[in-house]
Amino acid sequence: MKIKFLGTAAAEGFPAVFCNCEYCNKARELGGKNIRTRSQSLIDNKILIDFPSDTYAHFLSNGIKGHEIEYLFITHPHADHLSTDDLYMRQGAFAHNMKAPILKVYGSKSSIEKIPKYYKNISLNSIDLYETVKFDGYEITALPARHMARGVSVIYIIKGDKTILYAHDTGYLFDEVLDYFKNNKVYFDMITLDCTNGVIPITDEGGHMGFDNLKRLLKKLEELGAIDGKTIKYFNHFSHNINPLQEELEKVAVTMGAKISYDGLEVEV
Ligand SMILES: [Zn+2]
Ligand SMILES: [Zn+2]
Ligand SMILES: [Zn+2]
């Protein structure tokens, strides 16, 4: 399985759209991996996760043909994960000869309801917590995120020939989610976890995580047998309010056996 990180910032982007803070200016100056757009990933050139306003730019900069993508899974209805306007462009004079005639969209009821029903050539599918969607050898399971009201925001287990935990945006994982991993003997070949707060402390209930929460979460996941030394560990979804340098973030992550995502990074799992 391959996962490509298309956008790795928090809601405002990094540098943020209108921000003149020290970190945003530093990111603009350094460029490269320090430039982060809104959250989105692509699995095996087939399954898109989230649809922010940067989607079109992601397609262009990564050579992605939007019409080939068959599946879209939405984590939650915040604008940096679901910006619906460009989904309208899948119809009539806007889109010809699409290889995937229908884009199958999955998400919580709240995410799906945000997409206008009159949009053409997309199918809208609400999924419940703990529901698994199966297609073409993949199994994708939605679990509750600690981010919005229960059931509005989800994280995903994405199972193909390997298993990935995709957990953005969320605070420290709920006990019920950890129990689910334990009871179902889930093992992850890769995990990508919310690191919005980086070095800035945030409570486990804060809706996002930083290094401190992640340190404890990794330990817990290891105790449960859900990850081990072979699991590929990435932190993702960064805010401009934390240390801006990819290099600096990497220095902290490496002490935890983890890596830092950046826009355009492809990982072979
Ligand atoms: Zn977000
Ligand atoms: Zn800033
Ligand atoms: Zn969010």
Considering every ligand atom shown, identify the ligand nearest to the alpha carbon of residue 7 and give its number: 1
CA of 18 to the centre of ligand 2 (A): 8
Residue with tokens 């619906």: 84
CA of 138 to the centre of ligand 2 (A): 39
Burial 48-81 (b: 16+ CB within 10 A, else e): bbbbbbbbeebbeeeebebbebbbbbbbbbbebb
Check if the beta carbon of residue 264 is closer than 8 Å to that of residue 62. yes
From 172, 167, 169, 171, select the one nearest 156 (Cα to Cα).
167
| pLDDT at site 243 | 79
| pLDDT at site 237 | 97
Extract the residue ranges of the chain whose pLDDT is less than 70.
Answer: none
CA of 22 to the centre of ligand 2 (A): 7
Considering every ligand atom shown, identify the ligand nearest to the alpha carbon of residue 50 and give its number: 1
56-90 confidence digits (pLDDT tens): 999 999 999 999 999 999 999 999 999 999 999 99
Q: How many CB atoms lie within 10 A of CB 220?
A: 16
Domain count within the chain: 1
CA of 98 to the centre of ligand 3 (A): 31
Domain of residue 245: give its range.
Answer: 2-268
CA of 81 to the centre of ligand 3 (A): 7
Q: How many CB atoms lie within 10 A of CB 147?
A: 21
Considering every ligand atom shown, identify the ligand nearest to the alpha carbon of residue 242 and give its number: 2
CATH of the domain at 64: 3.60.15.10
Considering every ligand atom shown, identify the ligand nearest to the alpha carbon of residue 241 and give its number: 2
